[in-house]
Amino acid sequence: MEALYVLFGLTLLILIWIISIYNSLVRLRQHLKDSWAGIETELRRRYDLIPNLVATVKGYVAHEKQVFETVTEARTRAVSSSGSPASQARDENVLVQGLRSLFAVSEGYPELKASVNFLELQRELANTEDRIQAARRFYNGNVRDLNTRIEVFPSNLIANLFSFKQAEYFEIEEVGVARAPKVDLSRQEDSGSE
């Protein structure tokens, strides 16, 4: 009879252990979904800024039609992308390249660079890019935590038993929106003392 109690107690401990690991994996997966929603929110914010930015630049630079078409097509593709984080990242990187081209074109037009609308949109886009990068880091941290939990022993046994899959990282480039230049006065002081 005593052996039956020990067997029952051991079975109960193993069951509690399995439930505990399963619940922690579910929590990590939910954190991952939540952090992905944060990325989607910030990307949507960027998508909403792009048409205004293109329209502002078009007002000053009407003959750069190819750049506008490229950015518009890349935005459309990125908005409709609904695949894995890796496929979303590919579409985002195409959009980033298009935005870089748009900003490169704007560099040749001083009156555009001085436009209050353009400067405000550029500031908003820079702010949005910072928020996207913060959301990406948060998401990738959750991916790391989930993937680690899925790989380490003994939780890998439970993860395999319940078909938990590793998540993909989300890697995108930064747009590189122009920011205020940094001034290094130490070099000027050195050259002035010579």
| CATH code for the domain in which residue 38 is found | 1.20.1440.20
Total domains in the fold of the chain: 1
Contacts of 95 (CB under 8 A, 6+ apart): 50, 71, 74, 75, 77, 78
* Model-wide pTM > 0.85: no
- Examine residue 133 and state whether it is found in any structural domain, yes or no: yes
In tens, the pLDDT along 42-90 reads: 999 999 999 988 888 888 877 778 888 889 999 999 999 888 898 889 9
Cα separation, 58 vs 67, whole angstroms: 10
Q: What is the pLDDT of residue 187?
A: 44
CB-count burial class (<10 Å; 0-12, 13-18, 19+) for 66 = exposed
Question: According to the model, what pLDDT value does residue 114 have?
Answer: 81
Residue 108 domain boundaries: 22-178
Q: Does some domain include residue 122?
A: yes
Q: Does residue 8 fall inside a structural domain?
A: no
pLDDT of residue 176: 59
Residue 6 covered by a domain: no
pLDDT of residue 1: 83
- Radius of gyration, alpha carbons of the chain: 25
Residue 14 placed within a domain? no
CA–CA separation, 113 and 109 (whole Å): 6
The distance of Cα 54 from the centroid of its chain, to the nearest Å, equals: 22
User: What pLDDT does residue 65 have?
Assistant: 81
Identify whether 11 is part of a domain.
no
DSSP conformational letter for 126: H
32: nearest Cα among 172, 166, 173: 166
- Looking at the domain assignment, is residue 110 inside a domain? yes
- Ranges of residues in the chain whose predicted pLDDT is under 70: 175-194
| Cα–chain center distance at 126 | 14
Q: How many CA atoms lie within 13 A of 188 on its CB side?
A: 3
Give the pLDDT of residue 106: 84
Q: Is the dihedral of CA 128, 129, 132, 134 positive or negative?
A: negative
Please report the pLDDT score of residue 10 as a whole number: 95
Residue 188 lies in a domain: no
Residue 110: asked if its preceding bond is cis (omega within 30°), the reply is no
pLDDT for 177 equals 53
